[in-house]
Structure 1
Amino acid sequence: MFVLSVVLLIAAVAVFLVGRGRAEAGWRIGAAVGALGGVLAGLFACLHVVRAYEVGVPVTFGRVGTPLTSGMHLKSPFTDVTSFSTRPVDLDLGGEDRVEVRSSQGGVLYADVTIKWAVVPRRAVELYRLAGSEDAVQERLVLPDSREIIRNVFARHTSEEGYASARERISAEIETQVKERLAPRGIDVTTVNLRNVRPSKQLQGQIDKKIQQEQATERAVEAARTAKAEAERKRIEAEGTARANKILERSLSDKVLYNQCLDAYREAAKAHPVYAVPCGSGSGGTPVIVDGTKN
């Protein structure tokens, strides 16, 4: 715009000089229009509008000036303004950009992470010196630092903690460290979302094998527990039977056995009314005639 202003002013002066000695008014009008256009172009070259939710960094002959907030600003025509958006930006590390990490056991996992960050307006000059542009802030600062921190955090945890038991704790650790790393550079990290952690095929095979081994161990332990309980039940049953036999042995006498023998054969005599049976102690027990027809 400044170059256009200079060109228009030079053209206006040339037209004025050419038409000065002539009677036609068109030359003077052309010179006036050119001069007016040059002045307006120069004025616009000295104005710069910073849009809402942006901050501008002015640079004049290599010297960085004070950040420009949203609105209209006067500047030198030799000043270039680099704008940075202050809106939150999502850095999506997923799909082909997912982060490959290793656990403390050496297992490979793939982490999908979303990092929401924004430029701190008052630190725009520092970001310009570090990166040079808005796109470079993410490519040179946010992305490499976030990947490094994600890998370092996962390396302090086991594979099982990484994909299952400690995901929330790992996400909190990543968020804390990313904020601490980027805050001094003028980048405000609002949230870190660890969306998904997926083990590699090799690690998944190891996990499945471990689960099968654990299930087999649980079945073996349960079988051993059942066998032990059954053995204990049989032992208790045998001890009960032995105690009952001892009690029965102490309570039985020859007379008791003799009476029980008579009762047993009396019941049998109901089918065969009269027969002789030996009842008594010793090998030659006293013969007894049992008549089922009589009481």
Structure 2
Amino acid sequence: MLFISLLLLAAGLVVMVLRRRGAVRGRAATAGGILTGVLGVLLGVTTFVHVVEPYEVAVPTTLGKIGGTWQPGLHLKSPLTDVTSFSTRPSDLNLNGNDTVEVRSSEGGVLYADLTVKWSIDPQHTLALYKLAGSAEAVQQRLVQPDSREIVRNVFAKHTGVEGYTSQREAIAAEIEKQITDRLAPRGILVNGVNLRNVKPSDSLQHAIEAKIQQDQATAQAEAAVRTAKAEAEKRKIDADSTAAANAAIAGSLTDKLLLSQCIEAFKAAAEKNPVYASPCGSGGTPVIVDSTKR
């Protein structure tokens, strides 16, 4: 910018000198020379100031020397000073498509994980990040992306293919977010969330997972049938024990006299319709005559 400013200023001065010497004539040439000089001066002035936009932090460097961070606002600087700006707004690192993370389960199966890491720069660590990476784009490429991919692989390697694909996805996502946060926070990178959007197994692992799920379902059904059979057997045993106890109680309470008395009472009731009724209730098989008319 300073070089362009000097060129414009020099061009304006040349036009004015030529106009004075008569080599160039006309008001258009004079106006052009003046306008070119003014543009050169204005561009030259802009090389001495820099505006840091809202939600940005800037790092100035002058001839290889790094200065302190600049907050949003107008700052004066040398024309030889380069300014690198870092946005403090949240950014998304999308690991999908060509950047999908290929992971392996604890059993060696291959899965493909799609996720988004939401991150932002801590303004207080901008200077350290500049020294580490050099720019906001480099922070994502050199720090956030490789660390995130490494952590995703390490976390999935602790789980089986079935857990990674189905049962433990929420737990795996929470563990990934915690580890990425712990890894990047000391470097001044804030992690605002990790979204594990999709986990897709390879074809061979897909077949193995489906077979495992079917096997687990069959095992669960068999275990349920065993539990039902045991419960029914226990119920039958309880019923049998109760019946045996009742029979034993009845058998212990019955005597010959009691049986004879109950038999006589029963046939008395029957003799209400028959005046004389023979009942084999006597001891030794002797019949007992029940005459309902005599009572």
Name the residue aligned to 1:192. 193
Distance verdict in 2 for CA 1:71–1:238, change over 3 Å: same
Is the 1:103–1:162 contact (alpha carbons within 8 Å) kept by the matching residues of 2?
Answer: no
Secondary structure of 2:83's counterpart equals: strand
Name the residue aligned to 1:124. 126
Asked if 1:222 is matched to 2:225, the reply is: no
Describe the superposition over 1:255-276 as per-residue Cα deviations: whole angstroms up to 9, x where unpaired: x666666555555555554576
Asked if 1:141 is matched to 2:139, the reply is: no
Q: Choose which of 236, 246, 266 in structure 2 pairs with 1:240.
A: 246
Shift of 1:154: 4.2
Secondary structure of 1:48's counterpart equals: strand
Q: Tell me, in whole angstroms, the C-alpha distance in 2 between the residues paired with 1:188 and 1:25.
A: 63
Is the 1:54–1:70 contact (alpha carbons within 8 Å) kept by the matching residues of 2?
Answer: yes
Is the 1:20–1:28 contact (alpha carbons within 8 Å) kept by the matching residues of 2?
Answer: no
Is the 2:282–2:288 contact (alpha carbons within 8 Å) kept by the matching residues of 1?
Answer: no
Q: Tell me, in whole angstroms, the C-alpha distance in 1 between the residues paired with 2:8 and 2:186.
A: 47
Secondary structure of 2:78's counterpart equals: coil
Describe the superposition over 1:215-267 as per-residue Cα deviations: whole angstroms up to 9, x where unpaired: 4312320331122122121122112202311321xx224xx666666555555
Q: Tell me, in whole angstroms, the C-alpha distance in 1 between the residues paired with 2:30 and 2:248.
A: 138
- Mean Cα displacement is larger for which, 135-144 or 17-26? 17-26
Amino acid in structure 2 at the alignment position of 1:47: V
Name the residue aligned to 1:167. 170
Shift of 1:144: 2.4
Secondary structure of 2:21's counterpart equals: coil
Describe the superposition over 1:190-213 as per-residue Cα deviations: whole angstroms up to 9, x where unpaired: x32456676755536534542442
Amino acid in structure 2 at the alignment position of 1:213: T
Q: For the aligned residues, what is the CA RMSD?
A: 4.0
Shift of 1:42: 1.8
- Mean Cα displacement is larger for which, 19-28 or 235-244? 19-28
Name the residue aligned to 1:252. 256
- Mean Cα displacement is larger for which, 135-144 or 21-30? 21-30
TM-score (ref. length: structure 2):
0.73
5 Å-filtered alignment, 1:71-90, equals 71-90=73-92
5 Å-filtered alignment, 1:92-131, equals 92=94, 104=106, 113-131=115-133
5 Å-filtered alignment, 1:30-109, equals 31-92=33-94, 104=106
Secondary structure of 1:56's counterpart equals: strand
Describe the superposition over 1:7-65 as per-residue Cα deviations: whole angstroms up to 9, x where unpaired: 22332343344344339685776655544433322222332222111122334455544
Q: Tell me, in whole angstroms, the C-alpha distance in 2 between the residues paired with 1:261 and 1:33.
A: 139
Amino acid in structure 1 at the alignment position of 2:5: S
TM-score (ref. length: structure 1):
0.73
Q: Tell me, in whole angstroms, the C-alpha distance in 2 between the residues paired with 1:62 and 1:176.
A: 37
Is the 2:61–2:81 contact (alpha carbons within 8 Å) kept by the matching residues of 1?
Answer: yes
The number of residues matched between the two structures is 287
Secondary structure of 1:66's counterpart equals: coil
Distance verdict in 2 for CA 1:161–1:180, change over 3 Å: same
Please say which structure displays the higher CA radius of gyration.
Answer: 1
Shift of 1:137: 2.0
